[in-house]
Structure 1
Amino acid sequence: MKISQRWKSLDVFRGIAIASMILVNNPGSWDNIYPQLDHAEWNGYTPPDFIFPFFLFIVGAAMPFSLSKYTKENRPTKAVYWRIGRRALILCGLGLFLALFSLTLDFWLNGAPASKFATIRIMGVLQRISLAYFISAIAVLNLHRRALWILAAILLLGYWAAMQLIPVPGYGAGNLTPAGNLVGYCDRLILGQQHLLGGKPFDPEGLLSTLPAVVTVLAGYFTGEWLSKQPQQSRTSINLVIVGMSCILVGHLWGFLFPINKQLWTSSFVIFTAGFALLLLAACYELIEVRNLKWLGFPFEVMGLNAIFAFVGSGFIARILIKTHIGNGTDAPTTYTWIYEHLFKPWAGALNGSLLFAITTVIFWWLILYFMYRRNWYFKI
């Protein structure tokens, strides 16, 4: 396969991730969620904890296609670095836009004081994708393959050492609690606690924990580069499975020393989730590229081709529904709650109604994205 050829399996993989994200982020009621659809409270993992690393993994897996033409003989120009920087800035800007939009709706509709704008959350999902993509792309363009592997090892081992050995004032070294860990301390020191999620002492998309997230992107890059040189056959899929299972085992064992934790993005979490990403990619690759069952992945391909639009759009609409109200008075339910309470809960029950609300949201966005797909409208940055 030529490295410039586009794989539908990557779009399907991305579509599975975005559909899962919309499902998990939009229950009818956060008080009525199946345990399998809720994030782990701290250490450990549940299926939703794999969604974010899958996004980063697929960002890396796509890099061999977009950056393959740049070699030692054909060095990237300033324009190339500008495009990478521009893309990172747009991603970051979209994340900040969603945070600012929430504060604006509260100010306009719910009487929140203007001083709330001074507490805007700086980090977030898109901001982390932006930083991890930028650092990874610059590294890929300037380091040989062996140096990239060394960088990945340094980031994972260095992060582990820092979290275990650098003391946090008032908590000491090796404290991995929400309030006492080094990630939260760095964010409070650099960003200020008022700019963290909910004004709490810890932000799950912190600055320091973005460094191991870079390795998640690099893991995708290593995979994409390797796949681009392999024949389209089941043996390739099997090799992905073997490496994936190995990563799961290594991540699990490392978890005894450095717990698997999404919010801290621990080194064990990086290896563990990369293993599951490889398994999912192997399934997509085998079914779509090897067996040519493209129809099977089509529903997810539709979503994967406009994943950023779906992410931002679903977040935008959800914020409107959450910040607006039906009726007057302090007890007036939000539009989001009203829809759940009146259209889903009465006949499906509290728990199943909440799940059905989320499924309906996924279908709603699929229809929008299918409309865009039919007209060849693709939101690219």
Structure 2
Amino acid sequence: MQKRFYSLDVFRGATVAFMILVNNPGSWANLYAPLEHAPWHGCTPTDLVFPFFLFAVGNAMSFVMPRLQEAGTPAFLKKVVTRSLLIFLIGFFLNWSPFIRWNDDHLTFKAWEYAGANGALVGIRILGVLQRIALSYFFASLIIYFFKIRGAFVTAITLLLFYWAMTFLLGSAADPYSMNGYFGVQVDKAILGESHMYHGEGVAFDPEGITSTLTSIVQVIFGYFVGFYIQQKGKNYEMLAHLLIAGCILIFTGYAWDMTFPINKKIWTSSYVLYTTGLAILVLSVCILLIEFKDAKGIWSRFFDVFGKNALFIFFLSGFLPRVIALFRWVDHYDDKGEKVYTSALPWFYQHVCKPVSANLKNGSLLYAICMIAFYWLIVYIMDRKKIYIKV
């Protein structure tokens, strides 16, 4: 197996760090524009985080696939199925955790389905970020293992075109690329059920839904291609030049496709895959140039590297820990009606430490997010010093 490029680990770690930053603001109502998702069509820096991580999953896969191929098909299937299932179940566990919730002044078990605050039936979300990673990794692994490089490339292009055709032909005639017109919503409702879908948009709509997973698989395959190519060509400027050219071509193609199939993270359009993959290649190329060619390693690279060494674990912890902490609450004050207003450690920290630092509430919200990065970095730094690496 070829020697691993340190720049790939730094790229993955930086992606995880940015993921923690955008997922942990002090206030969702006070965000700087680059730290918000695009309302629908379009792409902000925040919309790059998830596809960059899937791209990094493909990179990592290119280094372990030769070993899995040597072990034979039964060993390969056992490894891939087990890992995919574990990641999926961890994501589902995260959605359900911490299994209890506050219902007025008492704790109750968070049932599979229960009445929400407005009386509507809500339930445990089935899909999510880790679940999409699991499914994308699983199918990309099978495609690459059984179809090889050329077959995987043909499959990837076919999936992008097929998804475009399905979205256009099966969607609403008025606007097949709108939230209400997107055909995948009906598929998710039929299979998952409305109560087990994401409701952050105000309606039952899952941004990690079943149908849009088709194109997220391609993101992993493209990541694999880049990792494979880097290993085959070795550390030279020709390899770097080819990566830069490929990145620019994909960005241009994504922009061109955007005119008929808009760049959109929430339905993971084919143009979005090409555009974000192109940007991922450019960012990775810069990392390779700085680290592998210029040897510009230092505090910045070590900072991100420790995130990359425990990437899935720290992502899980950053979602799980705030939910557990929120169970330990106390009365902060009483509102105008004399009703109790509760708080817990993390909201208190934002309200009383971060928020007062500036009249611009966005600054306090950003400061809180930076503090969260520092907190989780300290955890993975200690783990790295003790050589503790939690792999799935």
- Report the alpha carbon displacement of residue 95 of structure 1 after superposing the two structures with TM: 0.5
Q: Which residue of 2 aligns with 1:185?
A: 186
> Given that residues 4 and 68 in structure 1 are in contact (C-alpha distance below 8 angstroms), is that contact kept between their aligned partners in structure 2?
no
What is the one-letter code of the residue matched to 1:221? Y
Q: Which residue of 1 aligns with 2:61?
A: 63
What is the one-letter code of the residue matched to 2:342? A
Q: Determine whether 1:134 maps to 2:138.
A: yes
- Report the alpha carbon displacement of residue 174 of structure 1 after superposing the two structures with TM: 5.1
Deviation per CA, 1:102-160, whole angstroms, max 9, x where unpaired? 55234697655754546110000000000000001111111122111110011000000
The residue correspondences of 1:352-367 to structure 2 (distance < 5 A) are 352-367=363-378
> Given that residues 43 and 261 in structure 1 are in contact (C-alpha distance below 8 angstroms), is that contact kept between their aligned partners in structure 2?
yes
- Report the alpha carbon displacement of residue 173 of structure 1 after superposing the two structures with TM: 7.2
Residue of structure 1 aligned with 2:382, choices 363, 371, 374: 371
Residue of structure 2 aligned with 1:146, choices 145, 150, 154: 150
Q: Which residue of 1 aligns with 2:78?
A: 82
* Separation in structure 1 between the aligned mates of residue 270 and residue 68 of structure 2, nearest angstrom: 30
Change in 2 beyond 3 A, CA 1:33/1:347: same
What is the one-letter code of the residue matched to 2:276? T
Q: Which residue of 1 aligns with 2:335?
A: none
Q: Which residue of 1 aligns with 2:120?
A: none
What is the one-letter code of the residue matched to 1:155? L
Q: Which residue of 2 aligns with 1:42?
A: 40
* Separation in structure 2 between the aligned mates of residue 86 and residue 70 of structure 1, nearest angstrom: 14
Gaps of 5+ in 1: none
Q: Which residue of 1 aligns with 2:259?
A: 256
- Look up the SS of the partner of 1:186 in the other structure: helix
* Separation in structure 1 between the aligned mates of residue 208 and residue 374 of structure 2, nearest angstrom: 28
Residue of structure 2 aligned with 1:219, choices 193, 197, 222: 222
Change in 2 beyond 3 A, CA 1:338/1:214: same
The residue correspondences of 1:106-121 to structure 2 (distance < 5 A) are 106=102, 111=107, 114-115=110-111, 117=113, 119-121=123-125
Q: Which residue of 2 aligns with 1:25?
A: 23
Q: Which residue of 2 aligns with 1:163?
A: 167
Change in 2 beyond 3 A, CA 1:299/1:185: same
Q: How many residues align?
A: 374
Residue of structure 2 aligned with 1:332, choices 325, 337, 342: 342
Instruction: Point out the more displaced range, 126-135 or 4-13.
Output: 4-13
> Given that residues 91 and 129 in structure 1 are in contact (C-alpha distance below 8 angstroms), is that contact kept between their aligned partners in structure 2?
yes
Q: Determine whether 1:12 maps to 2:10.
A: yes
Change in 2 beyond 3 A, CA 1:189/1:156: same
Change in 2 beyond 3 A, CA 1:287/1:109: farther
Residue of structure 1 aligned with 2:208, choices 192, 205, 208: 205
The residue correspondences of 1:234-249 to structure 2 (distance < 5 A) are 234-249=237-252
Residue of structure 1 aligned with 2:95, choices 96, 99, 105: 99
- Report the alpha carbon displacement of residue 96 of structure 1 after superposing the two structures with TM: 0.6
Instruction: Point out the more displaced range, 243-252 or 100-109.
Output: 100-109
Q: Which has the higher strand share?
A: 2
- Look up the SS of the partner of 1:42 in the other structure: coil
* Separation in structure 1 between the aligned mates of residue 165 and residue 244 of structure 2, nearest angstrom: 30
- Report the alpha carbon displacement of residue 236 of structure 1 after superposing the two structures with TM: 2.1
* Separation in structure 1 between the aligned mates of residue 280 and residue 7 of structure 2, nearest angstrom: 13
Q: Which residue of 2 aligns with 1:287?
A: 290
- Report the alpha carbon displacement of residue 361 of structure 1 after superposing the two structures with TM: 0.5
* Separation in structure 1 between the aligned mates of residue 173 and residue 105 of structure 2, nearest angstrom: 44
TM-score (norm 1): 0.93
TM-score (norm 2): 0.90
What is the one-letter code of the residue matched to 1:34? Y
* Separation in structure 2 between the aligned mates of residue 151 and residue 324 of structure 1, nearest angstrom: 49
- Look up the SS of the partner of 1:5 in the other structure: coil
Change in 2 beyond 3 A, CA 1:83/1:344: same
RMSD: 2.0
> Given that residues 244 and 278 in structure 1 are in contact (C-alpha distance below 8 angstroms), is that contact kept between their aligned partners in structure 2?
yes
Change in 2 beyond 3 A, CA 1:201/1:76: same
Instruction: Point out the more displaced range, 154-163 or 318-327.
Output: 318-327
* Separation in structure 1 between the aligned mates of residue 99 and residue 331 of structure 2, nearest angstrom: 21
- Report the alpha carbon displacement of residue 180 of structure 1 after superposing the two structures with TM: 2.3
Residue of structure 2 aligned with 1:230, choices 230, 233, 249: 233
Q: Percent identity?
A: 40
What is the one-letter code of the residue matched to 2:127? M
Instruction: Point out the more displaced range, 259-268 or 324-333.
Output: 324-333
- Look up the SS of the partner of 1:310 in the other structure: helix
